């Protein structure tokens, strides 16, 4: 049953995020996963170049791949709004169990000769130190991406995302990873800029 896996992944574009909130522009998990992959890859590169001493090494390419697949189970579960997902430990644990089952179901769609390649992406082994560190970067990138969404919505005049932005910013401040602080201080401010401010010069 290896013919259906990639067609299922294609359907990531149909799962929208932020379901409880009014959006000026919808965001699906395919779009979100690409942004998380870009940010997670950046975090891994920043670590390897500036903060690698006495720390577990991470492979930026693997980090990016883990990020691409980090929400793949939501093809089957949908995106549960954060206030519901983390309402209490019972709901959080139950949803994580559902996500684990969904990841196993997706893996069943992979052809046998490719299963090993996708198992580590769909069901990362957090007992492995390098994989665990990579997933910490993916989780941080996921938070940063969510904060960027809040920035975009507020730039568009949508105050619906103000409180979410404040909450996410506070959660980012609690992440004890120097590469995350580096990205927040050095890279994140540019997301507040307009296109004209971002351009070095005129294109023509």
The count of residues in the chain is 204
Q: How far apart are CA 92 and CA 156, in angstroms?
A: 32
Q: How far apart are CA 26 and CA 18, in angstroms?
A: 8
Range of the domain at 155: 5-194
Nearest residue to 32 (alpha-carbon basis) of 157, 133, 164, 149: 149
pLDDT of residue 84: 65
Q: Is residue 44 part of a domain?
A: yes
Q: Is residue 70 part of a domain?
A: yes
Label residue 194 by pLDDT band (50, 70, 90). Answer: very high
Longest dimension (CA), the chain: 57
Lowest mean pLDDT among 12-16, 95-99, 178-182: 95-99
Q: Is the pLDDT of residue 201 over 70?
A: no
Label residue 203 by pLDDT band (50, 70, 90). Answer: low
Q: Is residue 28 part of a domain?
A: yes
- What total of structural domains would you count in the chain? 1
pLDDT of residue 3: 80
Mean pLDDT along residues 69-86:
84
Q: Is residue 203 part of a domain?
A: no
Lowest mean pLDDT among 45-54, 82-91, 168-177: 82-91
- Contacts (Cβ under 8 Å, ≥6 apart) of 88: none
Q: What is the CATH number of the domain that holds 44?
A: 1.10.3210.10
Percent of the chain with pLDDT over 70: 95
Q: Is residue 168 part of a domain?
A: yes
Q: Is residue 200 part of a domain?
A: no
Mean pLDDT along residues 149-171:
96
- 154 versus 88: the higher-pLDDT residue is 154
**Average pLDDT of the residues of the chain:** 93
- Contacts (Cβ under 8 Å, ≥6 apart) of 148: 35, 188, 191
Q: Is the pLDDT of residue 74 over 60?
A: yes
Label residue 88 by pLDDT band (50, 70, 90). Answer: confident
Q: Is residue 68 part of a domain?
A: yes
Q: Is residue 199 part of a domain?
A: no
Q: Is the pLDDT of residue 192 over 90?
A: yes
pLDDT of residue 73: 95
């Amino acid at each position: 049953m290896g013919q259906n896996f990639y067609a299922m992944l294609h359907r990531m574009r149909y799962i929208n995020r932020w379901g409880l909130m009014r959006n000026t522009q919808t965001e699906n998990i395919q779009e979100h996963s690409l942004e998380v992959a870009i940010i997670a890859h950046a975090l891994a590169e920043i670590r390897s170049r500036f903060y690698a001493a006495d720390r577990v090494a991470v492979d930026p390419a693997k980090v990016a791949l883990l990020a691409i697949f980090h929400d793949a189970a939501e093809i089957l579960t949908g995106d549960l709004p954060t206030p519901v997902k983390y309402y209490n430990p019972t709901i959080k644990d139950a949803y994580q169990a559902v996500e684990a089952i969904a990841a196993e179901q997706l893996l069943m769609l992979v052809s046998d000769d490719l299963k090993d390649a996708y198992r580590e992406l769909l069901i990362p082994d957090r007992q492995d130190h390098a994989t665990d560190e990579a997933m910490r970067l993916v989780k941080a990138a996921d938070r940063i991406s969510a904060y960027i969404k809040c920035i975009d919505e507020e730039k568009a005049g949508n105050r619906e995302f103000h409180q979410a932005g404040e909450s996410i910013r506070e959660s980012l401040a609690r992440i004890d990873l120097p590469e995350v602080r580096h990205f927040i201080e050095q890279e994140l401010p540019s997301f507040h800029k307009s296109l004209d401010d971002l351009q070095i010069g005129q294109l023509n």
